[in-house]
Amino acid sequence: MNQFKESKLQIFQKILDSVEDEKYKEWLKRNLGTFICRPNTQKRAYLDALNKEFDKTSSMPLFKKGEIYFADLSPDKSSKIRPVLIYQNNNLNLAVKLNLYHNVTVIPLTSRLLGGDYRVKIEKRDNLVKTSEIVCNAIGIVSADRILFKKGVATSLTKREEKEVREKLSLLFGWE
């Protein structure tokens, strides 16, 4: 086994040993491949973090599916800040907090209100300063370090909005 996989397995085991929730621990074990087999594009950043013993996620909150945070989505981190909906399950979200996983599935929001089959309107509230639309046909994956957790949760979806997002995604993926 190469050094990269060995170090990932050692880190995985150390984190696994610290988890108290037995159900979550079993989920982590079942999904070991998700956490030790990172695409080549992530490998360099991961190795750099290991070498520096740098944990970017240590102060990260335990974020949840259905919460909206602000993120820097520009490729060169040139401050194109926009709200994004966290749209991956909470087991993966906890794995990000534990520094086992570094990607977050998100759906961006826009304040350009155009309507249509793949958008869900969200009225301004809490820290979401503009009425916006969730652009369900722009679902994507970003590195956790792109999400500006220090700004806090902008808002969370209501049950009605959650249902509407599921319906739009079902239409998008043809799950009707």
pLDDT tens digits along 55-98: 444 567 899 999 999 999 887 766 679 999 999 999 999 999 98
Q: Where are the domains of the chain?
A: 1-54, 59-176
Please, what sign has the CA dihedral across residues 76, 129, 84, 107?
Answer: negative
pLDDT at residue 59, rounded to an integer: 66
Cα–Cα distance measured from residue 43 to residue 10, given in angstroms and rounded to the nearest whole number: 16
pLDDT at residue 33, rounded to an integer: 78
- How many residues are recorded in the chain? 176
> If pLDDT is split at 50, 70 and 90, which confidence band does 152 have?
very high
Identify the helix (H) or strand (E) that includes residue 167: helix 159-173
42 close to 99: Cβ distance less than 8 angstroms: no
pLDDT tens digits along 112-139: 999 999 999 999 999 999 999 999 999 9
Arithmetic mean of pLDDT, 138-145: 92
CATH architecture of the domain formed by 59-176: Roll (2.30)
Strands 119-122 and 132-135: antiparallel
pLDDT at residue 77, rounded to an integer: 60
